[in-house]
Chains A and B, each alone.
Chain A
Amino acid sequence: MSRTRRDPRNEREAKSVASNTRRRFDLGLVASTSRRPRRDPRAEFASAEVEGRSRRRFDRTQTTAAIARPIAEAPHRRQEEVKPATRIVETPAFLVFAVLEAPKNRLSRFDRQVLGAARMLADAKDGGGAVVALAPAGLEEVGAAGADRILPFADDLALDDASRAAQLRAAMESLEPRHVLFAEDGRSADLARRLAASTGESFLADVVYLTAKQAARRKIGMTAEEFGAPPRLVSIGEDRVAAYAGAPCEARPIEDETHASPAAGSAIVSVETIPGDPASLSLSETDFVVSAGNGVSDFEAFKALAAELSGTPGASRVVCDAGLMPRGAQVGASGTVLAADCYLALGIAGAPQHLQGVAACEHVIAVNTDLHAAMVERAGLAIIQDAQRVMPALRELLEERRNAS
């Protein structure tokens, strides 16, 4: 017999708590023989809670989220909210760069996820790392999103991509970050590849799983994946890493003294930026959708309103079925699933299939006569009023503001 015999009486005695009335035992006090920390299922459950909902919702899909978010920081609804003190990293042990796109000088959801990933890598194991956000100067929310430092890095559309890459490369050479994180999207993805090709650094593209120990990505047409410790250059897929939800960081501006020389001998003759016209954009590409449902009857006024708000017109299934709007304008599970920032729903109650279509929209405005409609619950601004009466008022107010300015 290799195992020693248990002595239950002694074990019980060891758990007794000093008390002057009755004998009391702290039965939760267990000396674990294994070195693995004991799981706390309640705290794990609480950490999976999705914030900002009136009804409690749990995101049970994420394993990375549970790892990225320390369990101790799980939101406790019943506790009074105390404003947490700013986290300050005075002398960082190492740096982690997060390259942000910040369209229209605002952090997008994807930018926050990149910052969350950078925060996780900076705090891993012993911690002591600092997250440096490479973003346009004057961005306010980066501190709350987890950046310790901010390094101005212009997202100038007129600047050609090769000289942006040279600028980032110079910053990497002078500050020597341990990791540089990119969003696998648009110009960031392009920048990451330019850097990887020109520096020959190891690079994992479109990472689907990221922890401090391991990063994994798909290859060979999604039949295999390659994995290893996170390399220096990583680009992260959308919705793969949770955004940072801890105490705000300081976001101290820093300067990079070295200035990259502009890329010599570029073959680019001229660059011209053409802003997108919301009226002619497809629903999947636009950033603002003005949508009509059964509560709208005057479609000429609706189309004029959408044009004046410079939003892309959309519609619910009922309206498209009735032939009042083209089928291409249908929003929802059987129409277009939007990736817009804002959705203005005029007279839409919000069928589940329609709400699937607007799941990714950050801001939803609902105008509806029914206080109990699902769209009203989903909205960030809900107005219980007839859409037919609000539309002319909106057009009048827009006209007024245009005349005033």
Chain B
Amino acid sequence: MKTTVLLSAARHPVSGREALARLEAQAIALATRLGGDIRGLHAGPESDALREALGVGLSKIDRIDAPNGSDPMEDLASHLRAAGPDLILAGRRGQGGLDSGLLPYRLAERLGLTLVADAIAIEAGSEAGTVRIDQALKKGDRRRVTVRLPVIVTVHPLAPPPAAFAYGAARRGMISTHPVNDPIRQEGQGSEWEERPYRNRPKLMRTASASSGDAAEKLFVDPDPKEAARLILDYLERNGIRQF
């Protein structure tokens, strides 16, 4: 099976240096478990993050020599169409560009592939040419989707942790550079939005819900333990936490 892992131009949140995004390292770990021919794919200038990706399990990376800040969609789509991988893995949000998490969806639309979001495990399916993907849903629920290849999968943060970095593997790995197909088009990501430096904004305070009524209906001093148990179970049922 041919697998391609999409790599973004992430930076370390504290130091600001080029670093591999954790989700992409987790994607590499998922691909390694599945086995087969695994390649990385990155569109952009040379980056230390690519060496780091080689150190956590990739052995080959294709780099499309696109200028910084250009829209990588067309380059990635034409490269993937030529390479024809069975499985394309990406983090649920890339970093270093628009950070909107839209790229896998646009790629799926352009290549006409099915997209399965938020994967935490991938196994080969019982039939040939299928994979079984576990998706993380809310509150610990999982969904097991069997899907025919080729498919694009985005990786959820709850996927297994990435492999440890190995310096030797990072040195040995190969990065092959491909030229951009159509250099005239590389005008930059024509964003319809204005840009300014980011300023961190406070979040809303998390407070107890307004439903906490007055003391008489929520405070019970020295009730009989049986009465206390009944109160607790009724409260759980009334608020839809559990039904007994």
Contacts and interface: CB of A to CB of B under 8 A. Distances in A.
B12 to A, nearest CB: 9
Contacts, number: 267
Contacts of A250: none
B146 to A, nearest CB: 4
Contacts of B191: 226
A285 B139 contact: yes
A360 B113 CA distance: 38
B25 to A, nearest CB: 16
Interface of B: 10-11, 13, 16, 95-102, 105-106, 108-109, 113-118, 125, 127, 130, 137-149, 151, 158, 191-199, 201-212, 215, 218-223, 225-226, 228-233, 235-236, 239-242, 244
B89 to A, nearest CB: 16
Contacts of A401: 233, 244
Contacts of B16: 221, 223
21 contacts: A53-B208, A59-B207, A62-B204, A185-B138, A193-B102, A197-B105, A205-B99, A206-B100, A208-B201, A221-B13, A226-B98, A227-B195, A269-B130, A271-B146, A273-B142, A277-B140, A380-B209, A380-B235, A393-B225, A396-B226, A401-B233
A341 interface: yes
Nearest to A243: B204
Contacts of A12: none
A347 interface: no
Interface stretch (A3-11, A34-42, A82-90, A100-108): A100-108
Contacts of A194: 105, 115
Given A187-B137, A218-B99, A57 B207 contact: yes
A190 interface: yes
A363 B239 contact: yes
Nearest to B148: A267
Interface of A: 50-54, 57, 59, 61-62, 65, 101, 103-106, 113, 157, 160-162, 185-187, 189-190, 193-194, 196-198, 202-206, 208-209, 217-228, 238-242, 266-278, 281, 285-288, 309-311, 341-342, 344, 359-360, 362-365, 367, 371, 376, 378-386, 389-390, 392-394, 396-398, 401-402
A396 B149 CA distance: 52
A62 B205 CA distance: 9
B148 A359 contact: no
A378 B207 CA distance: 9
A401 B244 CA distance: 7
A107 to B, nearest CB: 11
